Chain A
Amino acid sequence: MDETIRSVLAEHGGLAGETTDLGDDDDLYRLGLSSHATVNVMLALEDAFSIEFPDEMMRKSTFQSVAAIRAAVTEVMGEQ
């Protein structure tokens, strides 16, 4: 899962630096994740994991770090 998340971030996140160097809790917004890029990351994660984030997960904090994304994806996969 982590590899896919980092791959999505590398392709759609527009972050400063390499995603392989990202710490689990590094703040992605502090690394340059923009609002527009957040949308692209969210949609790419849905496609990559064949999931759909529910309305209540549509908040910036859901995509704030690799750990937060992993937790969100895990939760949604468990529910769907």
Chain B
Amino acid sequence: MTGARPVLAIVHDDSGIVPMVLAATARERCDVVWIVDAADLEQPATVRLLRKMGTVLDIAGMTHDAAAEALGALGPGGIFVHADATLALGAALAGRLGLAFHDEDTVARLTDKPAQRAALRRAGLPVPRWAVLPAGAGAAEADAALADLEFPAVVKPTAGAASRDTVYLEGRADLHALLAQEPSRGGIWPAMVVEEYLAGAPRPDPAFADYLSVESVVVDGRVVHAGLSGRFPPAEPFRELGLFVPAALPPDAVGGVLDAAGRAIAAVGVRFGFCHTEIKLTAAGPRVIEVNGRLGGAVPEALGRATGLDVLGLAMDVALGAPVPFDGPVPTTRVGYFATAAAPRWARRVERVDGLDALSEFPGVESVELKRRPGDEVDWRQGSLGYVYSVLGTAPDHEGLKALKRSMAEDVVITYA
């Protein structure tokens, strides 16, 4: 009998999870309809790849109504979106087809930082003061917009991700200097949010950062936290260097962090899907930095390695209507990590990379991938995704993770120009 397998609509996004990885996870549980806007693809050959791994629905030029009608004819039982840029499309299609996903208003709060901060504040969560700079703002306009703000502050695009173009501002002069430069993608500066900087609490272990994220699954408004992901101290100014699970958090601090994440998810209005909620540990308690309405980057890899959970498979199963098979953070048996190395802020190009073979021999390392080859340009403004290489693996505990970081620092030599 055909048609017994459920059909999952996956919205393709070049910046999200690699299609081969998604297809490998889907293979044992469902058929896939890939929703693609072929006119928007960075790499046109992607369509040929996707056709090998399912049905391709090219929605280029279609209205949401037309796209939903075409998708509905293919009988999807769920929809899966793995990148911020396609959350709105996913919501538009899901809403028209009655599929469980964020609604369009929720996506607006998930992807627009000022709208999200307003929602958090309305719900009574402590949020730093912020102001919005309109696109293309000059120094005078910025000064007027920030008249009530205190420094230091952080500026970032209102719709940005991965710390792209995110900068620490000691004072107004720093902002003026920034606006006098060109943004990383060229053109004029997009609309940006400037918010007062949240100082972190003193760190018990300087090897780990003063912020973390909570990975949660939401079904019918019920929030279940799957785990907590720790961070390494970021590269200047705010470039993340990967993540690890479990976070190095004292047990008595976990409850407050989970509570803050749960309140933030409810405040934003999320009722279905995965959330990746970033939280800063301050002297006054946990403070929500941001709620993301999708799986966090590298979370499936790190959380999966730490717990044995097939995180991507779970996300697909939940999208297809399955219940969440646990009630709270999944016990960890080791540390799963995805660690990256960033170029210094002054660097413009990679000249040489030595020592990756030695790093790959470090106990627990599963893979080492070079992202910026000799000759490739580097630019700190690209944020967390502009890293030079990455390491994926496991460590027996946080001390083992620190040893891995020492090996990255000592065994790998990168020469820049």
- Specify the chain A residue showing the minimal Cβ separation from B17: A35
Contact B21 A30 (CB under 8 A): no
Which residue from chain A places its CB closest to the CB of B21 in the assembled complex? A60
7 A-B contacts, Cβ less than 8 Å apart? A35-B20, A40-B43, A43-B45, A56-B27, A58-B49, A59-B24, A60-B20
Answer whether A30 and B27 are a contact pair too, CB < 8 Å, given A36-B43, A55-B52. Answer: no
Specify which of B18, B20, B23, B357 lies most central, judged by the most chain A CB atoms within 10 Å of its CB: B20
Q: Which residues of B contact A27 (CB under 8 A)?
A: 360, 367-368
Residue ID in chain B nearest A42 by CB atoms: B49
Assembly CA distance A40 to B360 (angstroms): 26
Min C-beta distance of A42 to chain B, whole Å: 7
A16 at the interface (CB under 8 A from B): yes
- Chain A residues with CB under 8 Å of B27's CB are 55-56
CA distance A35 to B23 in the complex (A): 14
Contact with B along A54-72 (1 / 0, CB 8 A): 0110111000000000000
Alpha-carbon gap, A57 to B182, bound state (A): 43
Residue of B nearest to A64 (CB): B367
Q: State in angstroms the CA–CA spacing of A42 and B49 once bound together.
A: 9
A39 within 8 A of B: yes
List the A side residues contacting B357 at CB < 8 Å.
30
A32, B370: Cβ atoms closer than 8 Å: yes
From A29, A32, A36, A40, residue with most partner B Cβ within 10 Å: A32
Q: Is the CB of A39 within 8 A of B367?
A: no
B residues whose Cβ falls under 8 Å from a Cβ of A = 14, 18, 20-21, 23-24, 27, 42-43, 45-46, 48-49, 52-53, 353, 356-357, 360, 367-374
| B131: min CB distance to chain A, Å | 38
Contact A15 B373 (CB under 8 A): yes
A16 to B, closest residue via Cβ = B373
Known contacts: A16-B373, A55-B23, A55-B27. The answer to whether A30 contacts B46 by CB under 8 A is: no
Q: A58 and B371 in contact (CB under 8 A), knowing A30-B357, A36-B43?
A: no
B45 touches A40 (CB 8 A): yes
Which residues in chain A, 1-55, are within 8 Å of chain B measured between CB atoms?
A: 14-16, 27, 29-32, 34-36, 38-40, 42-43, 52-53, 55
Q: By CB atoms of chain A within 10 A, which of B49, B357, B360 has the most?
A: B49
Query: Do B369 and A29 touch (CB < 8 A)?
Result: yes
Which chain B residues lie closer than 8 Å to A36 at the CB level? Answer: 14, 42-43
Determine the distance from Cα of A35 to Cα of B60 in the docked complex, in whole angstroms: 23
Contact B42 A30 (CB under 8 A): no
Contact flag A16-B370 (CB < 8 Å), given A36-B43, A43-B45: yes
Q: Which of A30, A42, A56, A58 contacts B369 (CB 8 A)?
A: A30
Nearest B residue to A29 via CB reads B369
Residue of B nearest to A38 (CB): B20
Contact: B353 with A16, CB < 8 Å? yes
Closest B residue to A56 using CB positions = B27
